[in-house]
Amino acid sequence: MSHGLRSLSIVLLLSWAAATSAGEEPLPSVWEQAQARGVVLRAIGNEPGWLLEIDAGDRALLLTDYGAWRRTFTVSVNGDADGMEFTATVDGKPLHATFTPASCSDTMSDRTYPLRVTVTLGDQAFHGCGVDLR
C-alpha cells in the first residue's frame, strides 16, 4: 500500500472513530424506527424481499417485490396461545398472516427472531420471521 493511500486510510479510520465516540447517537435500527411509528408487529422475508407491519390500530402495510408493490389496509385479528392470525382483503384477494412463537432464522442476515411468519395473498405465499415490538 502506498504511503498516501495508507495515510488516507488512517485519517478516514480516525475520523470515523472520532465521530462515533464524540457522543453521536447511533442511527436507530429499522425495528426501533417501526416501533416509533406505532408498529407493534413487524415481519420480513426473502426471495423475493417482503415486509409486513401491523400497528396497534390494526392498520397494516405490506411491501413485496423488494418494495415495488406497496399496500396499506385494515386487518381483523384472531389470537390465542399458539400465535396470532390477521386477515384482510387486499386488491380483491384474501390475505392471511400468521405470527407463530417459534425460533426463526433469517437466511440472508443469519439473525434469529422469536416469531415465524407466513403471509398468503391470493395464491402467493411469503415465509419469514417477525418481532413483537410491544
Q: Does domain 37-132 have CATH number 2.40.128?
A: yes
Q: Are 55 and 72 in contact (CB under 8 A)?
A: no
**Cell 493511500 appears where?**
5
Query: pLDDT per residue over 3-38, tens digit each?
Result: 443 433 333 333 334 344 445 567 679 889 999 999
Contact 61, 76 (CB under 8 A): no
Domain boundaries, the chain: 1-28, 37-132
Q: How far apart, in Å, are the Cα atoms of 83 and each of 99, 102, 114?
A: 6, 9, 11
Whole-model pTM: value is 0.77
Q: What is the pLDDT of residues 63-82, one digit of tens each?
A: 999 999 999 999 999 887 67
